Amino acid sequence: MESINDIIPKEYKSRPFLTGTTKVKAPRSIDRYSDNPNTGRGYGVAIETEGDKIATADGFWKAVWADLNERLGVTPDLFERIIGNPDLDIKADPSLSPFIRNELNKGKILEMILILLTPGAKGIWIEGDTGRGKTFVLESIINVNNKYVSLGCTNVRKIITKPYYDMIVEMESANRLHEIIDRSIKGSTFVDDVLYSGIKHATIYNKDKEVIGNILERIHHQYMRGHKMFATANFSFEDIKKMGVISTTISRMKAMFHVFRWEGTQDFREL
């Protein structure tokens, strides 16, 4: 094996976490949009507020909407037509966006944002078919969250991202199990594509070792210390239970996540 690409299934080679990108970005001057956490990336001018900076759900949603469209190659001029601008007499036309908002997912992104902004440690688990946009949506939410962290907002916390598949590869290449998991899942973490392609095992020191239980236990360990955890998966908790993961671990997962089923017909790997 000369590179990681030698072992990645063809249908997954375009996944954002494996290629490092979603789409070639168009030249942009996004500065025309506000970075104020209260207004997000809507039209208007950022206003310095007194005291603590607080990210509002409405501002957060606008910023996520901007990030989703920007990653799909939408230019600033087109985005302004999508969201509208009363000052320039431009009426909002969301239908111009390449991001398809399935009716079955209506309100789910805002609900996720409210969960993220709510005190407490219960996080988000998004399940659904391959390529439906689970990772795509959660990445934008985390992008905006981490931007607001850097702006000094007091009601958000930094979230790191670690693809499940990358952990498996690192365990096998380093022949270490717990060290890789502990280093990968620290604080509030987004574990992308849990049980990628149904992989439960890693080959460590030439021995086949089941690792899914260890990974889920580490996620729970961080949750118990007050960290919000995030995950996407092609599998439900019941699916994972059928794979032989012990019931106690599944019960813990159910208690620490708000579960969302992400629906849709659009395959974001093809964009």
For 206: left if phi > 0, alpha if psi spans -120 to 50, otherwise beta; the answer is left
The pLDDT of residue 102 is 86
Closest by CA position to 220, among listed 189, 199, 196? 189
Q: At 177, is the pLDDT very low, low, confident or very high (cuts 50, 70, 90)?
A: very high
Per-residue model confidence as pLDDT tens digits over 227-245: 999 999 999 999 999 988 8
Whether residue 116 contacts residue 156, with contact meaning beta carbons closer than 8 Å, is answered with yes
The CATH superfamily of 103-271 is P-loop containing nucleotide triphosphate hydrolases (3.40.50.300)
Backbone angles phi, psi at 37, to 5 degrees: -65, -15
Per-residue model confidence as pLDDT tens digits over 27-46: 444 445 677 888 887 654 44
Please report, for the chain, the start and end positions of each structural domain, with discontinuous segments joined by +: 27-99, 103-271
For 133: left if phi > 0, alpha if psi spans -120 to 50, otherwise beta; the answer is left
pTM value is: 0.81
Q: At 128, is the pLDDT very low, low, confident or very high (cuts 50, 70, 90)?
A: very high
Q: Is the dihedral of CA 102, 257, 68, 92 positive or negative?
A: positive
The pLDDT of residue 224 is 95
Q: Give yes or no for residue 185 having a pLDDT over 80.
A: yes
Cβ-Cβ contacts under 8 Å for 151 (sequence gap 6 or more) = 35, 37, 53
Rounded CA-CA distance 57/63 in Å is 10
- The DSSP 8-state label assigned to residue 105 in this structure reads G
Per-residue model confidence as pLDDT tens digits over 16-25: 444 444 444 4
Over range 6-15, report the average pLDDT.
53
